[in-house]
Homo-oligomer: A and B are copies of this chain.
């Protein structure tokens, strides 16, 4: 068994076949076809799916994940080093996010208790970029106290 059928990839990755087809439509993973038009995946696609799942954990949108995956080498199967380079980038994002959460934790109680939650000067919340944004609409991000 050289390649995987969609059901196999689904079983091994824990991602539903419908989601895998969706990922393919969205350009996140790739497959070849049999004579009868069924998808066959290289085993290396498993790692791609794993990466997608991990990135989603970190709060990255499929759009951003696609961009990241686009940096993997075309043509050859990515090596350990290729993956390491990519995940190093997520490490940075993760690090940022952890710091954010820690700041939030440290200031949460005090900030809700105090009057500063007029939100105008409170350094806990402020409009900004969308690091932590998931789902729809604009999201707010914690602002460093500086």
Interface residues of A (CB under 8 A from B): 12-14, 19, 46-47, 49-51, 53-54, 56-59, 80, 83-84, 86-88, 90-91, 94-95, 97-98, 101-102, 104-105, 108-109, 111-114, 117-120, 122, 124-127, 132, 134-135, 137, 139-142
Q: Which residues of chain B are within 8 angstroms of A56 by Cβ–Cβ distance?
A: 139-140
Enumerate chain B residues within 8 angstroms of A95, measured Cβ to Cβ. Answer: 105
Provide the residues of chain B in CB contact with A94, threshold 8 Å: 101, 104-105, 108
Docked-complex contact B135 and A54, CB < 8 angstroms: no
Whether B54 and A104, one on each chain, are in contact in the complex, defined by CB atoms closer than 8 angstroms, is yes
Nearest residue in B to A95 (C-beta to C-beta)? B105
Which of B46, B97, B125 is close to A117, meaning CB atoms less than 8 Å apart? B46
The 8 A-B residue pairs with the shortest CB-CB distance in the complex, in nearest-first order: A50-B117, A134-B134, A135-B135, A87-B112, A83-B112, A80-B113, A94-B105, A98-B101
Complex CA–CA separation, A97 to B58 (angstroms) = 11
CB distance from A67 to the nearest CB of B (A): 17
Complex CA distance for A84 and B113, rounded to whole angstroms: 6
